[in-house]
Homo-oligomer: A and B are copies of this chain.
Amino acid sequence: MTSNPIKNSVSNSTNSTKSNYHHGDLHQQLLNKATLMIEEGGIEGLSLRKLATRVGVSRTASYHYFKDKNDLLCAIAENGYKLRIKTALMNLNNDSLSAREQFHFFVHDYVRFAYENQELYELMFGRAIWKQQNSTQALRDVAYPCFQYQLELTKNWQQNGLIKSDENTLRLAQVIWGTVHGIAKLLIDGIYTHTSQVEEICDSAIALFTNMAPSDVVLKVDLDS
């Protein structure tokens, strides 16, 4: 035996001998595979049975780590919020950015995050979790600071004279969130007819909110990473 005994016991789901008792990182494996499956086949396409088969365990194995399907979805969304906050802080908490640049980044970055993680975004901000009080406490603890952060940003944009300062900050933040959320949803749900022009739509939104001439809006910053 040269290989790690734990890893060895985990591997080989096609093994015909019945040594499939994991005793390993099944929790994490389920989460990872489920996140992957969701991005591939949508939230509706994820079934606990298919997930179990793909991870190489029996159909009800996941019930030892997640109370039910909703609990698993909440855990996936939770990771999504952590990812979102991490990337947002990385892109926006840069002192060399002007308020204008920061706002521009925020809008484009928000919509891009949603587009690049369509099913994850739907899970994070969609009806499946929030509509009928389905969210777990752990999820709420990660999700709320995410909006609080957006509120902070809005306050900053107001203080820098970028957007109307004679308007309630909370309301403004809600409107701005509504706008980027709405654009993202119309985009990823396939309702906008010309999806290639989303960047332009974002720029128009920025122009409307900041009351700048259209020519001022497009920055010379390369957004491609």
Contacts and interface: CB of A to CB of B under 8 A. Distances in A.
Interface residues of A, number: 45
A211 B207 CA distance: 12
Contacts of A178: 179, 182-183, 186, 201, 205
A183 B174 CA distance: 8
Contacts of A168: 200, 204
A126 interface: yes
Interface stretch (A9-17, A57-65, A98-106, A188-196): A188-196
A142 to B, nearest CB: 14
Contacts of A133: 190
Chain copies in the assembled complex: 2
26 contacts: A122-B127, A125-B189, A125-B191, A126-B189, A127-B188, A127-B189, A127-B190, A132-B190, A163-B208, A166-B213, A168-B204, A171-B197, A171-B204, A174-B183, A175-B179, A175-B183, A177-B182, A178-B179, A178-B183, A178-B186, A178-B205, A182-B182, A182-B183, A182-B184, A182-B185, A208-B208
A209 interface: yes
Contact of A130 (B164, B167, B190, B197): B190
